[in-house]
Amino acid sequence: MTTTAQRKPIRKAVFPVAGQGTRFLPATKAVPKELLPIVDRPLIQYAVDEAREAGIEELIFVTGRGKTAIVEHFDTAFELEATMSSRGKDLSVLDPTRITPGNLVTVRQQFPGGLGHAVWCARAVVGEEPFAILLPDEMMVGKPGCLKQMVEAYNEVGGNLISVLEVPQDEVSSYGVIAPGARISDTLTEVTGLVEKPKVAEAPSNLIISGRYILQPEVMRTLETQGKGAGGEIQLTDAMARMIGEQAFHAVTFKGRRFDCGSKAGFVEATLAMALEREDMADDVRAIMRRLLAE
């Protein structure tokens, strides 16, 4: 285990955003799924805000065809800002969309090869630094955010970390699942194995990987030779599993709420949950929900 003095800080984060969003067609025919709004902020904004809260300096978007609008969302919109200013409107609402020049990098995933392949596409930008991965579909809401909780754990133990959540046993076949080892604290557990989408009877636990990672750069070299796994794709979980025993791996149990925004029901749930947290609309939304349920 490296000492704090030897441990490199987590400065870079990879956002795999090349997916086609077919489960949300026709809405995603021309609009990237990551830009669909949860109330008035696109899904990708929540992940970027989480990363910046955790101290991330460089954002690496792994994009695909038709995804340029995601990058434009974080660009300066001169015409829009000029119009708003001329009308005396407050521009602070756009503050979260402004990225320091040079701190957003995009790389292209030319074909859908799986999450492991998407992460590997960012290898040249990641270089020889530990880095974070955030899956925008997994909307993690907490104070502090999920990645900040993980960075705090990383500063304690170093190595590789993954966020986990407990789910009912009959749901494990939809996720990557950890085999837990020694319990370090109430939120930190050693990882002795990883299985991607196991059969319910063969799952080593009901602790699922929940879309946030801090990994050492050696994972890129492992992904270089990683064969296809579940779904005929290169799975990040399989590459991480090969590294266990060679490097430290821990799971951080996230203290907060997770919304599966890769599903329509999860997307609606996240929208309602975020609306109910807003002082400017919570009462109206509750009234709407009561009326709809009565009908």
pTM of the model: 0.91
Task: Identify which of 52, 51, 31, 53 has the alpha carbon closest to the alpha carbon of residue 42.
Answer: 31
State how far the Cα of 15 lies from the Cα of 101, in Å rounded to an integer.
Answer: 18
pLDDT in tens, the chain (295 residues): 455 557 899 999 999 999 888 899 999 999 999 999 999 999 999 999 999 999 999 999 999 988 899 999 999 888 998 999 999 999 988 888 988 888 999 999 988 888 999 999 999 999 999 999 999 999 999 999 999 999 999 998 999 999 999 889 888 888 888 888 988 888 899 999 888 788 888 889 989 998 999 999 999 999 988 877 767 778 888 888 888 988 899 999 999 999 999 999 999 999 999 999 999 999 999 999 999 999 8
Sequence-distant (6+) residues with CB within 8 A of 278 are 39
Q: Helix or strand or coil: residue 95? A: helix
- b/e map 152-173, b = 16+ CB within 10 Å: ebbeebbbbbbbbbebeeeebe
Q: What is the pLDDT of residue 3?
A: 52
Q: Helix or strand or coil: residue 276? A: helix
Q: What is the pLDDT of residue 143?
A: 93
